[in-house]
Amino acid sequence: MIIVLIGPPGAGKGTQASRLAYTLNVPHVASGDLLRAVSVQDTPLGQQVKSYMVAGQLVPDDLALRIVEERLAQPDAANGVVLDGFPRTLQQAHRLDDVLAGDGRRGVDVAIYIEAAREVVLERMRARRRDDETPEVQVKRYDVYEHDTLPLVAYYRERGTLASINGEQPIDAVTRDIAATVRAHSVGGNSAGADALKPAATAIQAHE
Ligand code: ADP
């Protein structure tokens, strides 16, 4: 299964993506982590990526796509992935569909939208602020999300693949709702991972 997680910074995407990937036994592909690995390289590309990231801006679509595409080409991603942080723009979503079609793969099976209000996520971000991240950058990251990424909700809704989850609940409740949603989307299909989801609630808890 190809699963995409969408949500504002601070919605808990990383935690939920990791739990879901573990349950489905597919890789958790976090574009932010892939880009952070590039940003620490002492190369012109590394410095360029870093400058976008520290400012709370998105890296250019071509670059984000290239890095994720390379990851998707790895053998362990053949049965599916949980994508966390990608796509983040409509352009990236279109190009992801093209890449998957070009590889003869099914498209995105489910896009999970973890919803949480601006004030809620900004408060969470304030509480866990990293040293390299000012409050201004946090607000910037939220605004970029709203402007560039939120349109993906309509994009996937139109394709019938969107599922909205209340991200303001406690972490385990969000995990349960996501597992139930993915299970519902798996029924009737031959998706890898569908069987793995039957004991989802317990398996996910055990992973902590
Ligand atoms: P979060 O803290 O919101 O989970 P991420 O780790 O997903 O943030 O991403 C950190 C930064 O990496 C983003 O602010 C952005 O600069 C860059 N980035 C990550 N994914 C993408 C993407 N798909 N397109 C462009 N930039 C991205």
Q: Give me ligand 1 centre to Cα 127, in Å.
A: 19
Which H, E and C letters describe the chain, residue by residue? CEEEEECCCCCCHHHHHHHHHHHHCCCEEEHHHHHHHHHCCCCHHHHHHHHHHHCCCCCCHHHHHHHHHHHHCCHHHCCCEEEECCCCCHHHHHHHHHHHHHCCCCCCCEEEEEECCHHHHHHHHHHCCCCCCCHHHHHHHHHHHHHHHCHHHHHHHHCCCEEEEECCCCHHHHHHHHHHHHHHHHCCCCCCCCHHHCCHHHHHHHCC
Task: Calculate the average pLDDT of the chain.
Answer: 91
- Residue nearest atom 15 in ligand 1 by C-alpha distance: 58
By residue count, the chain amounts to 208
- Residue nearest atom 9 in ligand 1 by C-alpha distance: 32
What are the residue numbers of the active site? 13, 88, 128, 130, 141
pLDDT given for residue 122 in this prediction: 96
Q: Which atom of ligand 1 is nearest to the CA of 49?
A: 16
CATH class held by domain 2-31+81-198? alpha beta
- CA pair distance 202, 180, nearest whole angstrom: 12
**Residue 203: which pLDDT band, with cuts at 50, 70 and 90?**
very low
- CA pair distance 19, 63, nearest whole angstrom: 27
pLDDT given for residue 201 in this prediction: 42
pLDDT given for residue 190 in this prediction: 46
Q: What is the pLDDT of residues 125-138, one digit of tens each?
A: 999 878 778 999 99
Average pLDDT of span 179-206: 61
Query: For residue 15, which amino acid is it?
Result: T
- CA pair distance 22, 207, nearest whole angstrom: 8
Q: Looking at the predicted structure, is the pLDDT value of residue 21 above 80?
A: yes
- CA pair distance 125, 74, nearest whole angstrom: 33
User: Could you give the percent of the chain with pLDDT greater than 90?
Assistant: 84
pLDDT given for residue 132 in this prediction: 77
206's CB contacts (< 8 A; 6+ apart) are none
Q: Looking at the predicted structure, is the pLDDT value of residue 69 above 70?
A: yes
Question: Which of 165, 20, 12, 198 lies closest to 2, judged by CA?
Answer: 20
Mutate to test the pocket of ligand 1, among 6, 28, 35, 138 (most ligand atoms within 8 A of CB): 35
In the chain, where the domains are located:
2-31+81-198
More confident residue, 28 or 199: 28
User: Could you give the percent of the chain with pLDDT greater than 70?
Assistant: 89
Mutate to test the pocket of ligand 1, among 16, 53, 133, 138 (most ligand atoms within 8 A of CB): 53
Q: Which atom of ligand 1 is nearest to the CA of 55?
A: 16
Q: Give me ligand 1 centre to Cα 116, in Å.
A: 18
**Residue 197: which pLDDT band, with cuts at 50, 70 and 90?**
low
- Residue nearest atom 3 in ligand 1 by C-alpha distance: 9
Give the lowest-confidence range in 24-38, 70-84, 118-132, 157-171.
Answer: 118-132
Q: What is the pLDDT of residues 144-156, one digit of tens each?
A: 999 999 999 999 9
Q: Looking at the predicted structure, is the pLDDT value of residue 208 above 60?
A: no
pLDDT given for residue 81 in this prediction: 97
Give the lowest-confidence range in 51-55, 118-122, 167-171, 197-201.
Answer: 197-201
